[in-house]
Structure 1
Amino acid sequence: MTAPRTAPTYRIDPFDLRLFAAIVEHGSITAGARHIHLSLAAASTRLQQLEHAIGATLLLRSRQGVRTTDAGRTLLLHAGRLQRDMEALHADMAAHAHGVRSTVRLLCNTAAMTEHLPGLLGRFLVAHPDIDVDLRELGSRDTLMSMRQGQADIGIVADNVSTEGLNTRFFREDRLVAVLPREGRRATRQPLPFTDLLEKPFVGLASESGLSRLLHDRALQHGRGLHHRVRVRGLDTLMQLVGEGVGVAVVPQATARRLASDRVVARPLSDAWATRQLLLCTAGDTPTGAGAAALHAFLAQASD
């Protein structure tokens, strides 16, 4: 009977990963060791210990140099990721050493990201040079999931999702409107239902944006999909393409006003879901951490 294999007690040293990556990059153990200022004997010993720790051969040696095995390619993938994470860690710690005391993780939907937060965040960051903000756009459901998992300090979500277990307060009213190429001088601005748009080609944002996910879900509720002629990264480009006649789009009303042109007509959506309240969301009454608490208080005051 074969004895069960025991896990090796040797722990992988980040330096060994750096050595391994250098050997692969430079094509030989000698060149890799030289690159990180290590003797050939020491590099060979560390490589043998690394292979023993993993329990697999990482490199195939030959007179022409080295080639990675399947295990080696897997390790190289993780080694690169870990090195990038370490570099990010050093950068973050250096920021603290230079007086940056905190980073606030803020998640929000498309409307908040593009229309409501830029000016507010600008004033806050100028007034608080010791606080950084990690700002990311997510759909409301994904934002709430991240909040419940402790992956964000503050969220801004639409009120069409359940915020049970989280603390919320009103932040802004947000209305979605349809934008269409203007046809004729007297284009109507009467409200229309979202279903009237489903037969038309769309100009949209990236599929992972909060607004794109919302429209996709609403179309599916009608048993339909959206035909996107093109997806773009910014609302300014989106509005320009609508004006060129490429297709229609749905955007926040504030966007339609800010980027209005005589080539585009904005029409309110008559659907109840198109008029929403944006909610400021935290896990408790106030976020933990001085930086997050300061930003939350600033945004709450701006919503009064």
Structure 2
Amino acid sequence: MARARTATSFRIDPFDLRLFGAVAEAGSITAGAREMHLSLSAASARLQHLEHALGAALLVRSKQGVVPTDAGHTLRRHAGRLQREMEALHAEMSAHAHGVRSTVRVLCNTAAMTEYLPALLGRFLVAHPDIDVDLRELGSADVLRAMRQENADIGIVADYVDTEGLITRVFREDRLVVLQPVRSGRAGRRALRFADVIDQPFVGLPAESGLSRFLQGQALRQGRGLHHRVRVRSLDAVAGLVADGVGVAVVPAAAAARLATSRIIVRPLTDAWATRRLLLCTTDDANPGAGSAALLRFLSDAS
């Protein structure tokens, strides 16, 4: 009977994961070895050691090259994630080596990312040269999921999501408004329902952005879909395309106030979901480090 593998014997060299990825990508051990600056014999020995360590064949070898087995596909999927985490680890440790005390991980929705946080973080980072901020945009539901999995220190979400189990405090009030191009005979700034514009061509942010996903969800609740003529990376670009007459857009009111021109009509949305509070979130049992506590205190005071 084979002896069970112990935790101490189950060791995988990160270099071997990179080698395996290069070989799987190239479909050839020779090509993968060349990319990793190894001889063919050294690469083959490392791959055999990796298969032995994992207890599974990772590659099917033939005269035409190699293809991953099912186990190989699984390893390749996890290897990419592990390499990204190792790169993040090296980056954070490098920051410590250069005298940076801590990195605060912040996840937020589109409104917070584009309108509220940039100026605040500028002031905070200047005042705290020993703290870095890792800032990323997600939809509010995804922010909460990451918070509950302890993948972030601070989250900023809209209040339509269930924040049970987290500590929350109000950060900002955020209203969504419609941007429309000025057209002859279409003047006026009366309030609209989302249903009034849902069939018009839209200009929007990338599909993966928090705001785009939120608006698409609201459209689906009405049994409709949004037709985007174009998606661009910033709200500044969205407003410019609306002004050119490409389509309409739904954006935070703070962005509309900043970006509106004489060629754009700004109209409030009357839907209940269009008026939201942005909430600062931390985990209920959090024991924040000095950097997280300092940023949370600063953002709370700025509220």
Within a 5 Å distance, the mapping from 1:43-54 to structure 2 comes to 45-53=45-53, 54=55
Give yes or no for the alignment of 1:120 onto 2:84.
no
Q: Could you tell me which residue of structure 1 aligns to residue 129 of structure 2?
A: 129
CA distance in 2, matches of 1:230, 1:145: 29
Whether the aligned pair in 1 keeps the contact of 2:57 and 2:72 (CA below 8 Å) is no
Q: How much identity, in percent, do the aligned residues show? A: 63
CA distance in 1, matches of 2:185, 2:58: 73
Within a 5 Å distance, the mapping from 1:161-200 to structure 2 comes to 161-184=161-184, 187-200=187-200
Cα shift readout 1:184-243 (whole Å, capped 9, x = no counterpart):
387101111111011211111112212112211222222221111112211111111111
**DSSP-derived class of the 2:190 partner:** coil
User: Structure 1 residues 184, 155: closer, same or farther in 2, change over 3 A?
Assistant: same
Q: Could you tell me which residue of structure 2 aligns to residue 220 of structure 1?
A: 220
Q: Could you tell me which residue of structure 1 aligns to residue 59 of structure 2?
A: 58
Note the C-alpha offset of 1:106: 1.0
Letter in 1 for 2:245: G
User: Structure 1 residues 34, 69: closer, same or farther in 2, change over 3 A?
Assistant: closer
Q: Could you tell me which residue of structure 1 aligns to residue 30 of structure 2?
A: 28
Give yes or no for the alignment of 1:109 onto 2:109.
yes
Higher mean Cα deviation, 71-80 or 125-134?
71-80
User: Structure 1 residues 182, 287: closer, same or farther in 2, change over 3 A?
Assistant: farther
Q: Could you tell me which residue of structure 2 aligns to residue 139 of structure 1?
A: 139
User: Structure 1 residues 125, 56: closer, same or farther in 2, change over 3 A?
Assistant: same
Give yes or no for the alignment of 1:86 onto 2:120.
no
Higher mean Cα deviation, 141-150 or 225-234?
141-150
CA distance in 1, matches of 2:36, 2:271: 67
CA RMSD, Structure 1 to Structure 2 (Å):
3.2
Whether the aligned pair in 1 keeps the contact of 2:169 and 2:281 (CA below 8 Å) is yes
**DSSP-derived class of the 1:28 partner:** helix
CA distance in 1, matches of 2:88, 2:214: 33
CA distance in 1, matches of 2:265, 2:236: 15
Q: Could you tell me which residue of structure 2 aligns to residue 273 of structure 1?
A: 273
Q: Could you tell me which residue of structure 2 aligns to residue 69 of structure 1?
A: 67
Whether the aligned pair in 1 keeps the contact of 2:58 and 2:72 (CA below 8 Å) is no
CA distance in 2, matches of 1:131, 1:205: 30
**DSSP-derived class of the 1:199 partner:** coil
Letter in 1 for 2:114: T
Note the C-alpha offset of 1:22: 6.9
Whether the aligned pair in 2 keeps the contact of 1:204 and 1:228 (CA below 8 Å) is yes
User: Structure 1 residues 91, 150: closer, same or farther in 2, change over 3 A?
Assistant: closer
User: Structure 1 residues 59, 117: closer, same or farther in 2, change over 3 A?
Assistant: same
Note the C-alpha offset of 1:149: 2.2
Whether the aligned pair in 1 keeps the contact of 2:23 and 2:33 (CA below 8 Å) is yes
User: Structure 1 residues 177, 45: closer, same or farther in 2, change over 3 A?
Assistant: closer
Give the TM-score taking structure 1 as reference length.
0.83
Whether the aligned pair in 2 keeps the contact of 1:153 and 1:287 (CA below 8 Å) is no
Task: Give the structure with higher Rg (CA).
Answer: 1
CA distance in 2, matches of 1:296, 1:51: 46
Note the C-alpha offset of 1:257: 1.3
User: Structure 1 residues 187, 87: closer, same or farther in 2, change over 3 A?
Assistant: same
User: Structure 1 residues 161, 78: closer, same or farther in 2, change over 3 A?
Assistant: closer
CA distance in 2, matches of 1:258, 1:224: 30
CA distance in 1, matches of 2:33, 2:210: 48
Q: Which residues of structure 1 form unaligned runs of 5+?
A: none
Note the C-alpha offset of 1:115: 0.6
User: Structure 1 residues 183, 287: closer, same or farther in 2, change over 3 A?
Assistant: farther
Higher mean Cα deviation, 47-56 or 215-224?
47-56
Q: Could you tell me which residue of structure 2 aligns to residue 100 of structure 1?
A: 100
Cα shift readout 1:228-281 (whole Å, capped 9, x = no counterpart):
111221111111111111111111111111111121110111222212221112
CA distance in 1, matches of 2:72, 2:262: 56
Note the C-alpha offset of 1:43: 5.5
Whether the aligned pair in 1 keeps the contact of 2:172 and 2:278 (CA below 8 Å) is yes
